[in-house]
Amino acid sequence: MIPQIKMITTRQKNTSTAVLTREIDKAQFPEISDAELQYLGSVLETKSSAIVHKLPVILFVEKVKDDQENYQQLEAARKAGSKLFSALKAIDSKTVQLQNRSKPELTYALLEGLLLSNYCFDKYKKEKSSFSIEEILLVDDSITREKIVELSNIIKAVFAARDLVNEPLSFLTAPQFSVEIEKLGEEAGFDVEVFNKQKIESLKMGGLLAVNKGSIDPPTFNILEWKPENAVNKKPVVLVGKGIVYDTGGLSLKPTANSMDYMKTDMAGAAVMVSVVYAIAKNKLPIHVIALIPATDNRPDGNAYVPGDIITMFDGTTVEVKNTDAEGRLILADALSYAKKFDPELVIDYATLTGAADIVAGPHAAVVMGNSKKNIDSIKEIGLKTYERLIEVPLWEEYAKPLKSHIADLNNLGSREAQSTVAGKFLEHFTDYDWMHIDSAGTPYFKEADQYHPAGGTGFGVRLVYHFLKEKFS
């Protein structure tokens, strides 16, 4: 739920209040006593935030640390928004006013953290969550109505990604995923074309078809397009998302505990890219963008593809299957080859591709690689600002050697060592344009809530890619 956000000129009485500030003095807080002011000062000597209870409302104060880098201050403000949400929930206060007596840009970050915290996925619960912030009042003329609308649409996009990741396979099959994409397209105004299995077979997308062989549900290949008349890019940006709606590992079966039991999340890359297009369209950015979403589940049925099989990809490359759990790169490769038909300016693929990326970055960042150094440097900078950070790894030619096959052009596994980079080298084979690959294995789903990231789907990556594209074409 996105609360109503209103601009006001002065703080209202008897309303829960949050203040970002550098200093603690009586002039800023006329509503509290000297003893309460002294309490605030003492708490903020060792902590970043403090709360004065004036029930049925609260005064929440976050002290800005001037010795931090700007990106750290932004993240501290987002986390303050999350702490504020918890404090409001504790007293069931559904209206809050925000005031910033520090850097103007921190208002946006505080609001962002508060809004991102106002999420709940209770679709399958008998007892629904009863708390949600309904109204936010901004005592700040540094943030415009246009910025508020933009942020609200970005938050809606993040929530859409979270919802998709949280949905189980019992609902979100590949065909149903296409239905959900079409619903988002209707709401935001972007076009959606869905290729069914017959069309995919006619295109000879051997990677997608091979992975789908063990499924009782057909695959889909989804093409999303936002092409405004005032687009500033002559050639489109193409976004590719891994849409494995459930991954058992196929015949190379995964263990259940802490692995297969979370594999409804293996379509998180697709959820991110769909939601980025949604945010761009909702905010009417003048950017021509196309998203390609290959979708299927990966199961060990009697007709499933097996280790030792040789498959022919969309571009004619033959691939020896060494492991059926290395399936994401097969469906991405078909999409990356298909992207060539659009003569793209840039292609970005996003995937929960390898456990190795989780080992490298954990839940704190994703791994990025590619052949476009300028774009990688830029998106890494955006990653600091949004705190959806990226760790760059190189694509040296030595990493391609393990992908050689004696009986086909490539094998789909390579070596255990440097697996995230080896998988990137596999994908690189299918590109001939500026390209970035983001492997986000540890960030799409949290078992426990962490600040403004809920337990479950996080939507990590939506804000990153959106702001990267907006800045690139501004």
**207: alpha, beta or left? (left if phi > 0; alpha if psi -120 to 50):** alpha
Whether the upstream peptide bond of residue 454 has omega within 30° of 0, thus cis, is no
One-letter amino acid at 223 equals I
Question: How many whole angstroms separate alpha carbon 457 and alpha carbon 167?
Answer: 9
Reference 266, options 182, 348, 327; nearest CA is 327
**Per the residue annotation, which of 11, 54, 89, 254 is the catalytic one?**
254
Question: How many whole angstroms separate alpha carbon 463 and alpha carbon 387?
Answer: 9
**Per the residue annotation, which of 83, 213, 322, 329 is the catalytic one?**
329
Burial class (CB in 10 A: 0-12, 13-18, 19+), 54: middle
CB 367, CB 351: distance < 8 Å: no
> Distance between alpha carbon 268 and the CA centroid of its chain, in Å?
7
254 is catalytic: yes
11 is catalytic: no
Reference 383, options 296, 466, 278; nearest CA is 466
Question: How many whole angstroms separate alpha carbon 177 and alpha carbon 266?
Answer: 13
Other Cβ atoms closer than 10 A to 413: 24
- Report, as residue numbers or ranges, the catalytic residues: 254, 329
